[in-house]
Amino acid sequence: MTRQRSAWIKAALTGAAFLASAARADAPLLVFPVDCTLGETCFLQQFVDRDPGPGARDFTCGPLSYDTHQGSDIRVTDLEAMEAGVSVIAAAPGTVRATRDGVPDLGRAAMPEGQDCGNGVAITHGDGWETQYCHLRMNSVAVAHGDRVEAGTPLGLIGFSGNTEFPHLHLTLRHEGRVIDPFDPSDTASCGGGAAQLWADPITPQMGGFISAGFADAIPDYDAIKAGTADAASLSARQAPALVVWGFLFGGQAGDQVRLSITGPDGAVIHSQTTTLERTQIQLFRASGRRTPPQGWQAGPYLGDLTLERGGTLIDRIETRVMLD
């Protein structure tokens, strides 16, 4: 799969938007706590809830949070990626205060009472600062109480344990027990602008986009998409009942437009559909395609081109391919 983002997103990902050193003199600077490529193999899907009331808003005043959410959620694409192993690392030097392991990777449905964090690690950093790492994979926790760690020390693997609906790391930063948003630690930003961050390499996250995309011979089951088993590398040009392209997204907002198109081996577009999202959703999928004609499809490579637009601006674009033979 290949990607294209709007100009402002690409600039933000390659240039420092803020000076983290100006955030708080006593605060630790954080390295990104997952060994992945942000925007490609992992995604910042949800943030600290900044709404003091019963509603929810992220640090940009957007919808990527939920009521009382206390951390930053860094997800992998699917369960297959989780099972391949994605390392969680210490965000700053410190001492391990507590760990838990042994909670199965079955998500919310099998969460033991009182173990919302699932398998996790808590690290103290001095001066009242602490980071907590939740939803690690069972039997992956690699540190113990009292261990001294440096920024980048492996702690475990991303998992699906505890109170969660998708495989991810939930990172919470606290100072003297109070939750601090590393994207706006001073709590003074006006909808994401003007405040320093606590990230050593400042981040401007993508506020919505494609997690993955693929082809299938029918509209895939949502569970198969989330498991990572929905994409077909090849299909029969004559026996496949249909040719369907699908996209798995996060951060969709009401009014966003999702376009899915399929181009054949000769370069002609054989199918295109644009849908407007009716409601805001943290994660969703869309699929579209055509039934196989009586004579079958032309053999060769087919290209799926998927775009997400918001207010006329391209937010994300992803391409996927399948071979028909």
What pLDDT does 191 receive? 80
Residue 253, token pair as written in the block = 């907002």
In angstroms, rounded to a whole number, what is the distance separating the alpha carbons of residues 68 and 53? Answer: 9
CA-to-CA distance for 173 and 68, rounded, in angstroms?
A: 14
According to the model, what pLDDT value does residue 113 have?
Answer: 86
Structure-token pair, residue 86: 């994605």
Two tokens at 10? 């690409």
Tokens of 276: 């407007």
d(CA 196, CA 200): 11
- Walk along the chain (325 residues) and give the pLDDT tens digit of each residue: 665 544 334 433 333 333 333 456 689 999 999 999 999 999 999 999 999 889 999 999 999 999 999 999 999 999 999 999 999 999 999 999 999 999 999 999 888 888 999 999 999 999 999 999 999 999 999 999 999 999 999 999 999 999 999 999 999 999 999 999 999 998 765 687 666 899 999 998 999 999 999 999 999 999 999 999 999 999 999 999 999 999 999 999 999 999 999 999 999 999 999 999 999 999 999 999 999 999 999 999 999 999 999 999 999 999 999 999 9
Looking at the chain, the domain(s) classified CATH 2.60.40.2550 span 209-324
Neighbours of 127 (CB within 10 A): 11
Task: Tell whether the torsion through CA atoms of 166, 168, 172 and 173 is positive or negative.
Answer: negative
CB atoms inside a 10 Å sphere around CB 190: 10
Structure tokens at 186: 């001073």
Q: At 90, is the secondary structure helix, strand, or coil? A: coil
CATH for 18-180 is: 2.70.70.10
The CATH code of the domain at 209-324 is: 2.60.40.2550
How many Å apart are CA 14 and CA 3, to the nearest integer? Answer: 15
Of 316, 249, 213, 245, the C-alpha closest to 4 is: 316
Residues of the chain within CATH 2.70.70.10 domain(s) are 18-180
Q: What is the rounded CA–CA span in Å between residue 105 and residue 152?
A: 24
The answer to whether the CB of 202 falls within 8 A of the CB of 5 is no
Cα angle for residues 81, 84, 90 (degrees, 5° grid): 90
The DSSP line for 15-76 is S--S-GGGS-TTSPPBPPSBSS-BTTTEEEEE-----SSSS---TTSSS---TT--SEEEEE
Beta bridge partners, 210, equal 249
Which 8-state DSSP code applies to residue 109?
Answer: G
Spatial separation of the C-alpha atoms in residues 321 and 257, rounded to whole Å: 22
pLDDT at 177: 96
**CA nearest 318: which of 11, 117, 40?**
40
DSSP class per residue in 174-243: EETTEEE-TTSTTS--BTTBS---SBSS-----SSEEEEEEEESSPPPHHHHHHT----SEE-TTT-SEE
pLDDT, residue 204, reads: 86
